[in-house]
Amino acid sequence: MKTITEELISPKKNLFDVNLKEIWRYRDLILLFVKRDFVAVYKQTVLGPLWFVIQPIFTTLIFTVIFGQLASIPTDGLPQVLFYMCGISTWNYFSECFTKTSNTFVTNANIFGKVYFPRLVLPISTVISCLLKFFIQFSLFLLFLIYYIYMGSNVTPNAHVIVFPFIILIMAGLALGLGIIISSLTTKYRDFQFLIVFGVQLLMYATPIVYPLSLAKEKLGDYYWVAKLNPMSSIIEATKYAFLGQGEFSWGHIFYSFSVMLILLFIGVLFFNKVEQNFMDTV
């Protein structure tokens, strides 16, 4: 005999009434969405999953030519290819998660309009499926890293590597939090969609990817704190430090990013929770 669950549908819902249990009940759906995203994305292409690695290789190539050779931006004395590739693959994860989750309501309106499941399932599955792609791209970076070490470059991966899962977690949380805030705001007024298209681009240049944070410290002087305000700065820098041996690794700065992540997630879930009740009327 099944236990009978009483359900209540009413217009008012407590702002903090986030049903995590329900999301857990739908965990199979999360995994199936991940599988769908992953399997379906490169169907009917000749190169298939190779596209996962082509993209960072070419971007690294372009960055090396433009920022490394033409603009001669320093790389903390690291091999340029490794320096850019490390930043790009890490940043790609954040930007893809952010862009995709920020479109949650709009792109999935057809499913949301027909059936109920906890709406948070979709952004969560997006974050996870992007993670798989990230692992592939980051493995590529690790292959290059091994090659460079073998060739005798002055890169020194160190024990801080064990913090890396925590770094990824912060990054995923930041992207998810920011993404669901934007997605909640875009259900009625689409203005923010235009903002994030170039906003993400600009944010990349505000993050130490094509330049090291030490350069910002040197050039910005008193305004250095502005560069550190970006919660992604500590993430990119810590990754570089852990895998390449150069960069700024500061627990304080990481803790700052972690706090920003918690705040964004909190606000995001509140917004999302509020919007998901009625968004079908306006999307």
Partner 1 sequence: MSWMLKIENVSKMYRLGMIDSSTIQDDLKAFYYKLRGKENPFLKIGEENKRDTEGGDYVWALKNINLEIEKGEILGIVGKNGAGKSTLLKLLSKVTKPSQGTIRSRGRIASLLEVGTGFHSELSGRDNIYLNGAILGMSKREITSKLDEIIDFSGCGRYIDTPVKRYSSGMYVRLAFAVAAHLDPEILVVDEVLAVGDVEFQKKAIGKMKHISREGGRTVLFVSHNLKSIKSLCSKAILLKNGMLDFYGNCSDTIDKYLETDLKENNFLDKEIGNKNFKFNFIGLKSQNKTYQNPIIRIDQTELVLEYENLSDFKKIHFTIKLKGVDDNIFLTTISPENFISERKGKVKMQLPKGYFNEGDFLLDIYVIRDKSISILGFENIIGFSVIAEEINIGEYSGTEKGYSRQAMTWIKEY
Q: Out of 1, 9, 46, 159, which residue is the one contacting partner 1 (CB under 8 A)?
A: 9
Contact between 148 and partner 1 per CB under 8 A: no
Q: Out of 50, 62, 71, 111, which residue is the one contacting partner 1 (CB under 8 A)?
A: 111
CB 145 within 8 A of CB 85: no
Q: Out of 1, 14, 44, 162, which residue is the one contacting partner 1 (CB under 8 A)?
A: 44
Rounded distance, CA 98 to CA 92, Å? 10
**Residue 282 CB, nearest distance to partner 1 (Å)?**
6
Contact between 106 and partner 1 per CB under 8 A: no
CB 265 within 8 A of CB 177: yes
Contact between 17 and partner 1 per CB under 8 A: no
Q: Out of 20, 113, 219, 229, which residue is the one contacting partner 1 (CB under 8 A)?
A: 113
Q: Out of 74, 106, 117, 132, which residue is the one contacting partner 1 (CB under 8 A)?
A: 117
Contact between 272 and partner 1 per CB under 8 A: no
Query: Which is closer to partner 1, CB of 26 or CB of 224?
Result: 26
Query: Which is closer to partner 1, CB of 154 or CB of 282?
Result: 282
- Token pair of 36 as six digits: 């769908």
Among 257, 277, 279, 275, CA closest to 267: 275
Contact between 280 and partner 1 per CB under 8 A: yes
Contact between 274 and partner 1 per CB under 8 A: no
Contact between 159 and partner 1 per CB under 8 A: no
- Spell out the residues 6+ positions from residue 70 whose beta carbon is closer than 8 angstroms to its own: none
How far does CA 116 lie from the centroid of its chain?
Answer: 27
Query: Which is closer to partner 1, CB of 112 or CB of 243?
Result: 112
Rounded distance, CA 237 to CA 240, Å? 5
SS3 158: coil
Contact between 116 and partner 1 per CB under 8 A: yes
Looking up tokens 């997605």 gives 183
Contact between 21 and partner 1 per CB under 8 A: no
Rounded distance, CA 205 to CA 275, Å? 32
Rounded distance, CA 116 to CA 243, Å? 44
**Residue 189 CB, nearest distance to partner 1 (Å)?**
7
Contact between 220 and partner 1 per CB under 8 A: no
Rounded distance, CA 167 to CA 157, Å? 16
Query: Which is closer to partner 1, CB of 24 or CB of 166?
Result: 24
HSE value, Cβ hemisphere, 13 Å, CA-based, for 57 = 10
Positions touching partner 1 (CB under 8 A) are 4-11, 13, 25-26, 28-29, 31-33, 35-36, 39-40, 43-44, 110-117, 188-189, 277-282
